Amino acid sequence: MAKRTLNVALIGYQFMGKAHSNAYRQVARFFPALECQPVLKVLCGRHEERVRAAAEKYGFEEYATDWQQVVARDDIDIVDVSTPGNLHAPISIEAAKHGKIVLCEKPLANNLLEAREMVQAVEQNGVKHGVFFNYRKAPAVSYAKQLIAEGVIGQIYHFRGTYLQDWIVDPNFPLVWRLRKEVSGSGVHGDLNAHIIDLARWLVGEISEVCGMMHTFIKQRPLLAESDDRLGGQASTQMGEVTVDDAAVFLARFENGAIGTFEATRFALGRKNYNRFEINGSKGSIVFNLERMNELELYLETDPEGTRGFRTIQVTEGVHPYVSAWWPPGHIIGYEHTFTHLVRDALEAISKDEQPSPNFHDGLKCQAVLEAVEVSANERRWVEVPKS
Ligand SMILES: NC(=O)c1ccc[n+]([C@@H]2O[C@H](COP(=O)([O-])OP(=O)(O)OC[C@H]3O[C@@H](n4cnc5c(N)ncnc54)[C@H](O)[C@@H]3O)[C@@H](O)[C@H]2O)c1
């Protein structure tokens, strides 16, 4: 039977544009049982020359510079939103109005109100929707989910999430879009806490109450000499205000009685992409660290006393989630595979006429936690997470 093809319009061609293009290109080759196959139709960005070069490099049929025209095209099935946060809501809502499947980067929106409007738009227009909380799709994380669901570590007491980077410690690092609230919504909070909040919700359960602190260490930075299109770029001698947080930490209570600590920073020298969680339950503990993403640490209290201790599982066996599609045991996979797995799952859901997971509802719930932490930090008190 001929496969159903889905034409993809990808808005944004840099970091995530590159990661998502790779996922759409690889997915059908490694997961041939999929009934839907993505087609790299059009890549969209603001700068004609750069987007043309990127389209050629990533293998798109066409390029474009006006996302509004792109999302209105009859021949587009999936709109992939890989832009900074200020465009997530406008592009997703417009795409939903045109009946497109919308797959959006995280955080879903720049604030809770926008996130609600996005959910309303996809629901009113009856379209499928997904959010790139890609770390769920690391085989070791999916396996942790399976172990927790099977009760292997028992009742969960603690979630301890840290997401540490160090790329803006230099005070001369320029004021890129990630440091400007009007573009990014928040700083490291929406960027990295969003990921660990999503993992915590998925692995442990809903968060009911938070108490947070957000801090900006360097309040002014050199303005960019040219466009802010890139992560880096040339710094000018003029200074501008940093309007977002550099570090964001919070305590959390889960609905099921577990408690959690969350820490995200861009000021942890030596930590590059240190996305680590530890979960302690009544029967054992589980530890994951993205920088060693093929491994999962597991401690079981039921092990014989003499040899009890954390074991390191190489999550590369055929029995582990996603792994059989790739290489023999021990032949490790990487960061980019998390996106391929997310796209695989989204396409499978779409072919079954189901909603992808994670989707805009997860994005909204995560946004509600993010916003409660901001309120808590501003007002210096515990805050209940609004029911989204
Ligand atoms: N899931 C993850 O692990 C992960 C990792 C990094 C970034 N992100 C998220 O992905 C999104 C994009 O981040 P990035 O790192 O790719 O940023 P980036 O700066 O590398 O790329 C942003 C892209 O958006 C495009 N863009 C901006 N304004 C546009 C417009 N008006 N029309 C068309 N294109 C426009 C730029 O041209 C650029 O190609 C953000 O929401 C970010 O939080 C997610």
Residue ending a domain, choose from 134, 159, 187: 134
DSSP 292-329: GTTEEEEEETTS-GGG-S-EEEE--STTSTTGGGS-ST
**Composition of the chain by helix, strand, coil, percent to 5:** 35, 25, 35
Q: What is the pLDDT of residue 234?
A: 65
Residue owning the nearest CA to atom 21 of ligand 1 = 14
Residue 44 and residue 174 in one domain: no
Question: What is the per-residue pLDDT across 167-181, written as a single tens digit (0 to 9) for each?
Answer: 999 999 999 999 999
Residue owning the nearest CA to atom 22 of ligand 1 = 83
State the distance from the centre of ligand 1 to the C-alpha of 244, rounded, in angstroms: 17
State the distance from the centre of ligand 1 to the C-alpha of 162, rounded, in angstroms: 23
Residue 90 and residue 147 in one domain: no
| 58 Cβ inside 6 Å of ligand 1 | no
Alpha helices (H) along the chain: 15-30, 48-58, 67-71, 88-97, 112-124, 139-149, 181-184, 188, 194-203, 335-351, 360-379
Q: What is the pLDDT of residue 228?
A: 47
| 48 Cβ inside 6 Å of ligand 1 | no
Residue owning the nearest CA to atom 17 of ligand 1 = 15
Do 260 and 160 touch, CB atoms closer than 8 A?
A: yes
Do 298 and 313 touch, CB atoms closer than 8 A?
A: yes
Q: Is residue 384 part of a domain?
A: no
DSSP 1-63: -PPEEEEEEEE--SHHHHHHHHHHHHHHHH-TT-SEEEEEEEEE-S-HHHHHHHHHHHT-SEE
CA distances from 287 to 148, 298, 310 (A): 12, 7, 9
Residue 72, H or E segment: none
State the distance from the centre of ligand 1 to the C-alpha of 105, rounded, in angstroms: 8
| 385 Cβ inside 6 Å of ligand 1 | no
How far is Cα 368 from Cα 114, in angstroms, rounded to an integer? 11
Residue 343 and residue 318 in one domain: yes
Q: Give all strands (DSSP E) within 140-246, no chain letters.
A: 156-164, 207-215, 220-224, 235-241
Q: Is residue 321 part of a domain?
A: yes
Residues of the chain falling short of pLDDT 50: 228-231
Q: What is the pLDDT of residue 232?
A: 52
How far is Cα 78 from Cα 96, in angstroms, rounded to an integer? 10
CA distances from 202 to 170, 186, 190 (A): 35, 23, 17
State the distance from the centre of ligand 1 to the C-alpha of 307, rounded, in angstroms: 47
Please choose from 83, 291, 337 the residue to mutate so as to test ligand 1's pocket, defined by most ligand atoms within 8 A of CB: 83
State the distance from the centre of ligand 1 to the C-alpha of 241, rounded, in angstroms: 21
How far is Cα 221 from Cα 240, in angstroms, rounded to an integer? 6
Residue 103 and residue 141 in one domain: no
Residue 141 and residue 121 in one domain: no
| 130 Cβ inside 6 Å of ligand 1 | no
Any long-range contacts for 324-329 (C-beta under 8 Å, 24+ apart)?
325/30, 325/31, 326/30
The rounded Cα 283 to chain-centroid distance in angstroms is 30
| 165 Cβ inside 6 Å of ligand 1 | no
Beta-bridged to residue 129, according to DSSP, are 102
Residue 41 and residue 190 in one domain: no
Q: Ligand 1 atom closest to Cα of 230?
A: 19
Number of domains composing the chain: 2
State the distance from the centre of ligand 1 to the C-alpha of 212, rounded, in angstroms: 27
Residue 228 and residue 342 in one domain: yes
Residue owning the nearest CA to atom 34 of ligand 1 = 45
What is the pTM for the complete model shown?
0.97
Output the domain CATH number for residue 322.
3.30.360.10
State the distance from the centre of ligand 1 to the C-alpha of 188, rounded, in angstroms: 15
Domain enclosing residue 111, as ranges:
4-134
State the distance from the centre of ligand 1 to the C-alpha of 161, rounded, in angstroms: 24
Output the domain CATH number for residue 124.
3.40.50.720
The rounded Cα 177 to chain-centroid distance in angstroms is 18
State the distance from the centre of ligand 1 to the C-alpha of 84, rounded, in angstroms: 4
How far is Cα 109 from Cα 363, in angstroms, rounded to an integer? 8
Residue owning the nearest CA to atom 25 of ligand 1 = 12
| 92 Cβ inside 6 Å of ligand 1 | no
State the distance from the centre of ligand 1 to the C-alpha of 232, rounded, in angstroms: 13
State the distance from the centre of ligand 1 to the C-alpha of 229, rounded, in angstroms: 9
Please choose from 13, 16, 290 the residue to mutate so as to test ligand 1's pocket, defined by most ligand atoms within 8 A of CB: 16
Residue ending a domain, choose from 134, 150, 168: 134
> Which of 253, 251, 271, 254 shows the shortest CA–CA distance to 262?
251
Residue 115 and residue 177 in one domain: no
Q: Tokens 């009859």 sit at which residue?
A: 74
Q: What is the pLDDT of residue 225?
A: 79
